Amino acid sequence: MKKNILITGGAGFIGSHVVRLFVNKYPESKIYNLDKLTYAGNLENLKDIEHRENYTFIKGDIVDGEFIGLLFDKYKFDGVIHLAAESHVDRSIANPMEFVMTNVIGTVNLLNAAKVHWKDDFRGKLFYHISTDEVYGSLGEEGLFSETTAYDPHSPYSAAKASSDHFVRAYHDTFGLPTVISNCSNNYGANQFPEKLIPLFINNIKNNKPLPVYGKGENVRDWLYVEDHANAIDVIFNKGKIGETYNIGGNNEWTNIDLIKVLCKVMDKKLGREEGTSEKLITFVKDRAGHDLRYAIDSSKLQKELGWKPSLQFEEGIEKTTDWYLNNQEWLDNVTSGEYKKYYEEMYEGR
Ligand code: NAD
Ligand code: DAU
């Protein structure tokens, strides 16, 4: 196991689950969480492990290359798990440049620092880049994304992630940097910022607010419980083959409208409302520009070669997720105060 592991974006949704898993599972390793604490980063997500001896939080920006270099000098990282990113498609449509800076420049800064500080003696080192299935573009009604599917990103978010994946492969092919990449489907679970479909709709159902379904709600996503993604990241970090790519998915496709109806039903039950009450909040609104129709992942490589598989059924995952949001009102209140209101108005007013 690596001794000094840098996890970027560890205060965000997926990152916080990865940090917790690694801090608990690898007490002999030091886990460094580097995060800028943007609107999406929240140290509340890590309250339960923040005093652990093998955990250090570093506030900082991956876009600052000099600062990243100093960190590599100081902490002698031998492993990097890179999750820090701007992650919301709608925000990338409103402000693409932020996505170029963090997702592309930030990633290249980290690659450069690893290359320089590992000084071509790459033995025992690993740079693991966390990416998305959105780089593959959109599927029709049939087929699945595999690791060899050609890249075809459509949003500024997915274009920036695709670009960062290309840089990771270029550093492997050109400089021999030991890298691995995984591309995962849509995650859901505790601590996801309520701009994304599932937590946004849970919050709106609770507050009797309209549920803004883009277009006709026919788009399909392949949903994976976030702790299953964190487990896959652990498996790939420890057993993945250098230079390889692994797709991660839930084998769990839903049209948005079907998923939303399930969510409404579960929430009606939990809130003691009559069945059908929350469905009345469904409001069809203007579609997202460049909206990809369908994502679906073939994760057989990861399953066959490294032995990972998703552990949770969707029904159980949705139960756990709705319970978490209902039991963590303070977390929700904190992240939806201030800036969030402005974001919400700008994104949904007049849609
Ligand atoms: P998130 O938006 O919840 O968290 C991102 C984190 O990165 C935040 O803590 C934020 O403060 C930090 N960050 C942003 N810019 C930074 C910068 N310049 N310097 C340092 N830290 C910065 O994102 P998430 O949903 O947890 O996604 C994490 C990663 O997983 C991303 O790379 C994303 O592309 C990828 N991914 C996400 C999903 C998903 O469904 N959420 C699926 C597949 C892949
Ligand atoms: O596929 C992996 C990707 O999944 C990750 O790389 C991204 O970081 C993550 O944000 C997610 O992207 P999506 O665009 O698929 O997720 P989002 O939750 O924004 O939307 C899910 C679907 O729901 C999508 O088809 C758009 C739709 N939607 C979303 C919102 C926020 C709505 O209909 N209404 C909404 O208000």
Ligand lying closest to the C-alpha of residue 88: 2
Cα(22)–Cα(26) distance, rounded to whole angstroms? Answer: 6
The ligand with the least distance to the CA atom of 33 is: 1
Please check the confidence at residue 17 and state whether its pLDDT lies above 90: yes
Mean pLDDT across the chain = 97
Task: Calculate how far, in angstroms, residue 103's C-alpha sits from the geometric centre of ligand 1.
Answer: 9
The amino acid at 132 = T
Report residues whose beta carbon is within 6 angstroms of any ligand 2 atom. 87-89, 132-134, 185-186, 196-197, 200, 212-214, 219, 221, 256, 288, 295
Pocket of ligand 1 (CB under 6 A): 8-9, 11-15, 35-38, 40-41, 61-63, 83-87, 102, 106, 130, 132, 161, 184, 186-187, 193
In percent, the amount of the chain with pLDDT more than 70 equals 100
The Å distance, Cα 268 to ligand 1 centre, comes to: 31
The pLDDT of residue 350 is above 90: no
Q: Kindly state the percentage of the chain with pLDDT values over 90.
A: 95
pLDDT band at 320 (very low <50, low <70, confident <90, very high): very high
Name the residue with the closest Cα to ligand 1, atom 14: 85
Note the ligand closest to the C-alpha atom of 286.
2
**Catalytic (active-site) positions:** 133-134, 157
Atom of ligand 1 nearest to the CA of 63: 18
Taking the alpha carbons of 27, 63, 155, 191 in that order, is the dihedral positive or negative? positive
Sorted by where each begins, the domain ranges of the chain are 4-191+223-252+291-313
pLDDT confidence of residue 222: 98
CA 315 to chain centre: 21
Which atom of ligand 2 lies at the shortest distance from residue 198's CA? 18
Reported as a single tens digit per residue, the pLDDT across 183-230 is: 999 999 999 999 999 999 999 999 999 999 999 999 999 999 999 999
CA 50 to ligand 2 centroid distance, Å:
30
Q: What is the pLDDT of residues 170-187, one digit of tens each?
A: 999 999 999 999 999 999
Ligand 1 atom at minimal distance to the Cα of residue 14: 26
- For residue 186, the CA-to-ligand 2 centroid distance in Å is 8
Query: Which ligand sits closest to the CA of 89?
Result: 2
CA of 59 to the centre of ligand 2 (A): 27
- Rg for the chain (alpha carbons), in Å? 20
**Is the pLDDT assigned to residue 120 strictly greater than 80?**
no
Residue 255: which residues within 8 A CB-CB, separation 6 or more?
Answer: 217, 218, 219, 220
Tens of pLDDT, residues 75-89: 999 999 999 999 999
4-191+223-252+291-313 falls under which CATH superfamily? NAD(P)-binding Rossmann-like Domain (3.40.50.720)
* 168, 129 contact by CB (below 8 A): yes
CA of 130 to the centre of ligand 2 (A): 17
Q: Probe ligand 2: pick from 91, 188, 203, 214, max atoms within 8 Å of CB?
A: 214
Which pTM value belongs to this model? 0.98
